Structure formats: structure tokens, C-alpha cells
Amino acid sequence: MNTTIYIRAASCISPQPTFMADGLPAEMKTFTSGKLNAIEPDYKIHLNIPAARRMSRLIKLSVCAALSCLKDADIKNPGAIICGTGLGCMEDSEKFLASLLDNNEQTLSPTSFIFSTHNTVAAQVALLLQCYNYNFTHTHRGLSFENALLDAILFLNDHPDSNVLAGATDEVTPTSFKILQRLGAARQDDADIHGTNAGEGAVFFSLQSVAEENTLAKITDINTFSIPVSENVIFEKINNFIVKHKISKDDFILTGLNGDAVSDKIYHEVIQKYFSVNNTGTYKHLCGEYHTSTAFACWLSALMLKSQRVPGYVGDPAAVLTSGRILIFNHYKGREFSLLLLEKC
């Protein structure tokens, strides 16, 4: 199977000014703790449709990102729509749950239930585009985006002349943040070595199996694994990927470092073993920690490869992307691990 696919266009809505930005934003803010909400686009411009009235914030963000990505890609009707989401439409789920408890399961309005389904975003995009094609939603915790990408690779192998709209969406709500705090997953301040920030985002990519003049970057390969039984197993899997792609100190690594001492340990070890400290970067201080944060990392890496530079908010601006390759290495709470290799075109 050919694992290489090409990014024709990408659109990112995040806690940073990434939406409709012409390339990499000049500056981004750093957030080491707290709840990071996405910057909402002006819906009057980007989502001026009657259907938007009933959509929750996450659905609106996601539909905006998806439509803008397709516009950039100049694609009216994608060959497939594939989404990833760790928690789906939380706001609608909470609303319906609260209403059924408050009303003792009587006379409920169905609206929030209708939109709480995990495949709502993929479905709403299909509905707006009148797209009758393959429509999938992966909801596998810290691998929801990676599994959506893998699905896109499978689809493009079966349909090499087609294209895929693939993306990832997740939200942090006051309720989910409160729960993260109680779980000890929310970092108090910069001195705190436990927990991290909490973020969200809606990121979409237009993917195809051939390179073109405007291609942002190519995704060379993905590897994922879950619940490793020991640290040795983690290193064995990482080592296999590194050997397979002859990854060296010339390559840049973008890790999911998030400030939590336990979670960060493995990143430091991998960097020390395989990479040059100058060729490293991080991204979760920009978008926050969430199940599909690697979609933000993928968008960031694609733009870094296109512009051939490392912005100061990611790593050492003096770093040169010598090899033209970026490895994204992430794990979610030590349970789901992913390696995603991107290359310039």
C-alpha cells in the first residue's frame, strides 16, 4: 500500500489567529495552563446560512474550517468526508443530559439530541455540499485524527483519482474543564509539574494522491499503537518507524510536550536518543491539550515545510529544516501513541 498522500489545502481554527491566515501567523500567544477556546470566525461572513442558527459552537467552527478548506482547494464536492473527534459535540450532549434530568425525562426538545451525535460534523458538511460520498467518523481518543488520516490513505489507495476532506474537531466546555480540573489534569500555574492546559480546535485538510504545484506538503507515513505494556515496547515501535524511514538528526521533531512531568518524560528520552536538540519544537502551548491536537500539529508542520522556516513560537528560529521532513510524535495520557511523518514537496 502506498502510504503517501498530499495536502492540497488546510484550514485551521484554533485558540490562535490561524483561520484565514495567509501562511504561518507572525506571532502566537503562549498558554501553559487554563482553558483555551478557539477564536471564532465572523459567522456572518463565513457561515451565512440559515442552518447555522441551530448549530452549536463546535459545529459552526468545524463547518467553517471544512468549507474554507474546500474553497482553498477549489473542490466543490469531495470524494470522501472523514472526521476524527475524541469527544464529539459535548455542548449538545451536556444540554440534552441536563434537560432530561431537569425535566424528569418528560417533554424534551430533540434539537440538542439531534446534534449530539458524534458524526454530526461530517453529516452537516455532507448535507451542505450535497455530498453523497463515503462519510466516516473516528472517535478513538488520542488517535481519532490519526485514524481518520489512515482511513483517508486507504480511500485514496482505492480511489487514486479522487480526493478526501479529512479533519478533526474537539471542544472544551466549562463542564469538561471542571472535570479535567477535578481529575488533576489541569495545570495550576507554570510551577506546577502536574497536568496541562486544555484546548480545542477544528482543522480540515484536502488530501489527494498526487502532488501539484500548490501542494502544501506530503504525509509520508503514520504509525499508531495503544496501551503499550512497557517502555521497551514504546521504544521498539518508535525505533522501527525511525529505521523504516531512516530518520536522523537532520530531521525536525515536533513533540506533544505539555508541561506534565510524567507525560513529558518519553518525549525528552526520544529527543535525546534520536534527534538534535536544535531541531525540536512543541505545539501544545499554542493550541492546548486535547484528543485531536495532532491535527493542529499537522497543519503547523505543513505550513512550516511550505515556508521552509521554524517560527519562534514553535522552536529555535535559527533551526533549518535541512532534510525537509518533520516527525510529529505525540501520545495522549500514555495510552495512545502516534508517529506522523511529513515531508516538503
Site residues for another protein per CB under 8 A: 1, 81, 86-88, 93, 96-98, 100-101, 104-106, 108-110, 113-120, 122-124, 126-127, 129-141, 143-144, 147, 151, 154, 157-158, 175, 178-179, 182-183, 224-229, 291, 335-336
Which CB, 53 or 190, lies closer to another protein? 53
Cβ 39 to another protein, closest distance in Å?
25
CA distance 93 to 111: 10
First-to-last C-alpha distance (Å) of the chain: 20
Asked if residues 61 and 126 have their Cβ atoms less than 8 Å apart, the reply is: no
Cβ 265 to another protein, closest distance in Å?
20
Cβ 333 to another protein, closest distance in Å?
10
CA distance 65 to 205: 9
Asked if residues 294 and 330 have their Cβ atoms less than 8 Å apart, the reply is: yes
Which CB, 148 or 319, lies closer to another protein? 148
CA distance 175 to 104: 21
Number of H helices, E strands in the chain: 11, 10
Angstrom CA distances, 274 to 51, 103, 239, 336, stand at 50, 57, 9, 21
Q: Where on the phi/psi map is residue 227: left (φ > 0), alpha (ψ -120 to 50), or beta?
A: left
Asked if residues 197 and 187 have their Cβ atoms less than 8 Å apart, the reply is: yes
Set of cell numbers at residue 37? 477556546
DSSP state of 66: H
Cβ 255 to another protein, closest distance in Å?
21
- DSSP H helices in 18-143: 43-46, 57-73, 90-102, 111-116, 120-129
Which CB, 138 or 306, lies closer to another protein? 138
Asked if residues 135 and 123 have their Cβ atoms less than 8 Å apart, the reply is: yes
Which CB, 105 or 161, lies closer to another protein? 105
One-letter amino acid for residue 20 of the chain? M
Cβ 171 to another protein, closest distance in Å?
13
Cβ 321 to another protein, closest distance in Å?
29
Cβ 18 to another protein, closest distance in Å?
25
CA distance 184 to 190: 15
Cβ 290 to another protein, closest distance in Å?
12
Which CB, 112 or 282, lies closer to another protein? 112
Which CB, 68 or 338, lies closer to another protein? 338
Which CB, 14 or 147, lies closer to another protein? 147
Asked if residues 108 and 96 have their Cβ atoms less than 8 Å apart, the reply is: yes
**Residue-level length of the chain:** 345
Which CB, 46 or 291, lies closer to another protein? 291
Which CB, 140 or 309, lies closer to another protein? 140
Cβ 86 to another protein, closest distance in Å?
6
